[in-house]
Chains A and B, each alone.
Chain A
Amino acid sequence: MRRRSFLAATGSGSLALTLPGCLDRASLARRGIPIRVLRPGMAEGHTLRDRTALPDAREEIHTGVAILGSGIAGLTAAWRLAQAEHPDFLLINGPEPDGNAAGGQLDGIPHPRGAHYLPLPSRESTVVREILAEQGILESDPAGERPRYREDCLVHAPAERLLFAGEWREGLLPTDHVTPGEATQHRRFLATMAQLGGRRGQDGRRVFAVPRTASSTDPAWQALDRQTFAAWLRAEDYTAPSLLAWLDYICRDEYGAGPTQVSAWFGLHYFASRNGQATNAEEGAVLTWPDGLAPLARGLRARIPAHCQRAGTALTVEENGADVRILVTTPDGPLRIRARRVICATPLHVTARLLDLRRHGCDPSQHLPLQAPWLVANFLLDGFPVETGDTPLAWDNVIHGSPGLGWVVATHQWIRAARPARTVFTTYRTLASQPAREARAWLATASADTLFDLAVSDLHQAYGVWEMWRRTQAVEITVRGHGMAAAAPGTLTNPGLAALQAADGTILFAHSDLSGYSVFEEAAHWGDRAAHKVLSGTA
């Protein structure tokens, strides 16, 4: 409505007056559309980085365990402590509650602001299965080969489609629409991945598993981490452009970086590790909600006593003899927390500013994982854009070879007698084509208009500028400068990460960064591990 009233108020006269100044398509395409840009944690992070003067805390409280950060790792740690009836802990929410699992609403329509799906957990992902079972999403047999999942949480058909050679097609890999030579490579690749999925190392573990520390430690397999995925593909003679474009999409979607930046071990890990099955879903099915993974975060939070959660952002963490002193800014002013133990569930680039990681065996100048920047943009649309062709809108819609990662439809999982009058499309985009540091510097100051142009490009390509302009009522763009760890070569042998994983002193670490890539399963795993260290220490 705002756009309509804007037009009515300014009238065509002023439109004509301003036209000469902005005749480029881009500025016309966003004319009158309100754009809101969120940069969660950026200001807080830069305060830490720039080491401005620290406030003086008058209030001091004591707690047994302080958990810093309430992304999935922090929430899982707190959930586990609450479940074990551990009496004494405090979860400091950090600048963005729920972290990458956060969701939002536009005109009452829930939508994701970060991660939007969870693959069916494999048997090794015990923590994830436990969380899903407790929330009633996993309905039976949580330890079994093929549990049963709540059907309305499985992605509804049609799940995916690909805009390839000018037409929408079902699925994301266009095997049926390429030359026989390329199709042969598609099949060879998938067969190899299926084979790797069942493969076990000398130690009896699966070669690729989630959490990744459950994978086999056979040196032969771990050696794959020394080369890039692109190098491995070349060596294995995968040259089909359609296959490589698909793998490029997969890598950017999963790791925020292309195959030339991602480790070969992780490139294969994506395909070979996720073998979760369900009695009531096909292979490769995923769980999703209108607002992405936010309902899972809410489910965890609901089981953490309210008095154990507090708004605030940690500024420093100091070991002081037997306990730890944490300085926190809260809406009620600065606060000093004295805790016996602390779980740093913050991203490692933040943790490195809270305390001296070198004392824990991790040198920030060498060991921090590369962080890929992301844009997550939500478009509130008045009616669904007009589709061309017979392949209907799917949950996930991807354009082959596009620098964007396509979009998901926030209302896809709704069950309605009529199509909703309004919907939200969520587009995803990484800035994989330029070095992450440069991209972040650019993102930090980029105008709302520039970010819009970047976020809308796939939608423009699919529906045209005019159709998008007339539908779009509002846009919310979430900038994630440090969106996810990019799984670069050397991650498996990164001694800094190994040291933080093993830490068992007063300071514990829990974050998907410890695994070198960013997924719900890894965050939950490290949150659970940290909680167990606390529980066994106090037992």
Chain B
Amino acid sequence: MSDAPFPASAPRLSDRLLILSVFVVASCGLAYELIAGALSSYLLGDSVLQFSSIIGCYLFAMGVGSHLSKYVDDRDVLARFIDIELLVGLLGGVSATLLFLLFAWLSVPFRTVLYALVFLIGVLVGMEIPLVMRVLHARQAPFSELVSRVLTFDYLGALAVSLLFPLVLAPQLGLSRTAFLFGMTNVAVALWTLWHFRLQVPDLRGRLLRGLVLLCLLAGGLAYAERLTRWAEQGLFGDEILYATTTPYQRIVVTRWKDDTRLHINGNLQFSSRDEHRYHEALVHPALQRLPHARSVLVLGGGDGLAVREILKHPQVEQVVLVDLDPEMTGLFSRNTELAALNGGALTDSRVTVINADAGQWLEAGSEVFDLIIADFPDPSSFGLGKLYSVPLYRLMGRHLSERGMLVVQSTSPWFAPLSFWCIDATLREAGFHTHPYHAHVPSFGEWGFNLATRHPGYAPPEHYSVPTRYLDRETTRLMFQFPPDMGRREVEPNHLNSQRLVHYFQQDWNRVVR
């Protein structure tokens, strides 16, 4: 029996297949739109804006696609439909992962690529429905029936995804894998259309091969998407990401490689668990060993609690106040068991008070007096940060210091940034302190420097330590306070607020190092 005299109201199998592909194609189209919107809200924030602009761009692009569809020659309609499906599958499938990678590596052209990608997918998806309609029309389907059926399934497909995406796909699979899944679905539509109409499509083998390769590629993507996004960040940090978060103040990433846990803030290494004891012992003990009567200690910055861990080794200390801006940071190092293990639970110790406030503002507002102040601020790489190393701020710290108290300042590297290091020393002296510069070798940082400042002369480095130390001993300490000629004192100006010499020195120093 021939299939020619089928009544129009009972569509043939090929037509049903095409209608089904409309459903699938519509689902995929909406999925890419939702993925792009969700991804950009997630990465850029301001979700109303991101969703509106993505949807706007996408719908407009679909209009452009519909318009362009008229330029497809009637004879090529089916072949073009299959090609477009393959292309949509590829672009849509890799879209989320591509954008993730791009954001991790280069943040600048991110928006350009985002909108270009959304536009491109929109154009292709916009061509799909008109092409399907033309295929059906060419197959003599009555127009009213055709329009009604195609659009019904178009909207049904959209409904399906709009429910599936937020309830199942995004939470279960994540954005990257969802995109790959829909990409595969698009390619599957292309392949089964291709197979069904194999007699009418030119270059069957070539298209079949491309489709299958794409399907494998996307399946691989689906399997490895999770790892790919991790690689994206590992590309930045080198190691496995243990924890990553973006707070209003900074991007915090904790990585691990074997037994080495590292903290990065805005991409800058803060510590490596392998050698951080060198840094923190050097930061704390030369001062605190010489303050047997120290009752209270103030730590500015240092939300990782590692300096506090060292301070708490000294039994005479009754109170430690840690002022760090970011509650995420101090929360992470109080609650996360792995990270709190690094500081020995220092931040939850009963002697410790954590204050999440801006150190500058806190110093201005308060009047508490401490026996030791440790200023562990980020390096003076901007005019804002440079003020934390200025004469007035050191004078202000001086007002929070007891008569025999000491101030220790993280002072950048005397090897890489000698002008900056000695500028901090000169600034402390300008603020009326006696300074005792020293340095320690921290392998993951290189040679690092500190300034110990006192109101009165007479400080001498400790001869021994009454607390357990892994790095410091008498000989190490003696060498720490000696500067070989290639790290010797430089003649530099102190850092005043109205000149901000330190920021200029810091730029000079690092321009010299990084060629």
B387 at the interface (CB under 8 A from A): yes
Of B48, B358, B497, the contact of A156 (CB 8 Å cutoff): B497
- In the complex formed, the residue of B with least CB distance to A420 is B358
B500 touches A157 (CB 8 A): yes
**Complex interface: chain A residues within 8 A of B48 (CB):** 7
A415 touches B393 (CB 8 A): yes
Give the CA-CA distance A416 to B497 in the complex, in Å.
13
A417 touches B360 (CB 8 A): yes
**Complex interface: chain B residues within 8 A of A421 (CB):** 248
Give the CA-CA distance A417 to B386 in the complex, in Å.
9
Tell me how far the C-beta of A244 lies from the nearest C-beta in chain B, rounded to whole angstroms: 30
**Complex interface: chain B residues within 8 A of A155 (CB):** 498
A414 at the interface (CB under 8 A from B): yes
A418 touches B498 (CB 8 A): no
A281 at the interface (CB under 8 A from B): yes
A415 touches B498 (CB 8 A): no
Give the CA-CA distance A281 to B48 in the complex, in Å.
48
Give the CA-CA distance A416 to B300 in the complex, in Å.
12
A158 at the interface (CB under 8 A from B): yes
Tell me how far the C-beta of B204 lies from the nearest C-beta in chain A, rounded to whole angstroms: 47
Q: How large is the interface on A (under 10, 10 to 19, 20 to 34, 35 or more residues)?
A: 20 to 34
B382 touches A392 (CB 8 A): yes
B230 at the interface (CB under 8 A from A): no
Tell me how far the C-beta of B328 lies from the nearest C-beta in chain A, rounded to whole angstroms: 13
From 479 to 515 in chain B, residues with beta carbon under 8 angstroms from any chain A beta carbon are 496-500, 503
A415 touches B383 (CB 8 A): no
**Complex interface: chain B residues within 8 A of A392 (CB):** 382-383
Give the CA-CA distance A152 to B360 in the complex, in Å.
13
Tell me how far the C-beta of B338 lies from the nearest C-beta in chain A, rounded to whole angstroms: 26
Of B49, B325, B364, B499, the contact of A415 (CB 8 Å cutoff): B364
Give the CA-CA distance A310 to B390 in the complex, in Å.
42
A151 at the interface (CB under 8 A from B): yes
Give the CA-CA distance A155 to B498 in the complex, in Å.
6
Tell me how far the C-beta of B262 lies from the nearest C-beta in chain A, rounded to whole angstroms: 22
Given A7-B48, A12-B52 in contact, is the A416-B498 Cβ separation under 8 Å?
A: no
Give the CA-CA distance A158 to B358 in the complex, in Å.
22
From 201 to 257 in chain B, residues with beta carbon under 8 angstroms from any chain A beta carbon are 248-249
From 1 to 37 in chain A, residues with beta carbon under 8 angstroms from any chain B beta carbon are 7, 12
B360 touches A415 (CB 8 A): yes
B325 touches A417 (CB 8 A): yes
A154 at the interface (CB under 8 A from B): yes
B179 at the interface (CB under 8 A from A): no
Tell me how far the C-beta of B261 lies from the nearest C-beta in chain A, rounded to whole angstroms: 24
- In the complex formed, the residue of A with least CB distance to B377 is A417
**Complex interface: chain B residues within 8 A of A282 (CB):** 498-499
- In the complex formed, the residue of A with least CB distance to B386 is A157
A303 at the interface (CB under 8 A from B): no
Given A156-B497, A417-B358 in contact, is the A151-B391 Cβ separation under 8 Å?
A: yes
**Complex interface: chain A residues within 8 A of B361 (CB):** 414, 416
B497 touches A154 (CB 8 A): yes
From 383 to 433 in chain B, residues with beta carbon under 8 angstroms from any chain A beta carbon are 383-385, 387-388, 390-393
B301 at the interface (CB under 8 A from A): yes
A157 touches B360 (CB 8 A): no
Tell me how far the C-beta of A354 lies from the nearest C-beta in chain B, rounded to whole angstroms: 43
A187 at the interface (CB under 8 A from B): no
**Complex interface: chain A residues within 8 A of B359 (CB):** 417
B358 touches A416 (CB 8 A): yes
Give the CA-CA distance A151 to B499 in the complex, in Å.
10
Give the CA-CA distance A156 to B498 in the complex, in Å.
4
B498 touches A285 (CB 8 A): yes
A419 at the interface (CB under 8 A from B): yes
Given A7-B48, A418-B358 in contact, is the A158-B383 Cβ separation under 8 Å?
A: yes
Give the CA-CA distance A3 to B393 in the complex, in Å.
36
| Leading 6 A-B pairs by shortest Cβ distance | A157-B500, A415-B360, A154-B498, A156-B497, A416-B360, A417-B359
21 A-B residue pairs with Cβ-Cβ distance under 8 Å, sorted by A, are A7-B48, A151-B496, A151-B498, A152-B392, A154-B498, A155-B498, A157-B383, A157-B498, A157-B503, A158-B383, A280-B498, A281-B498, A282-B499, A285-B498, A415-B360, A415-B390, A417-B301, A417-B358, A418-B358, A418-B384, A470-B49
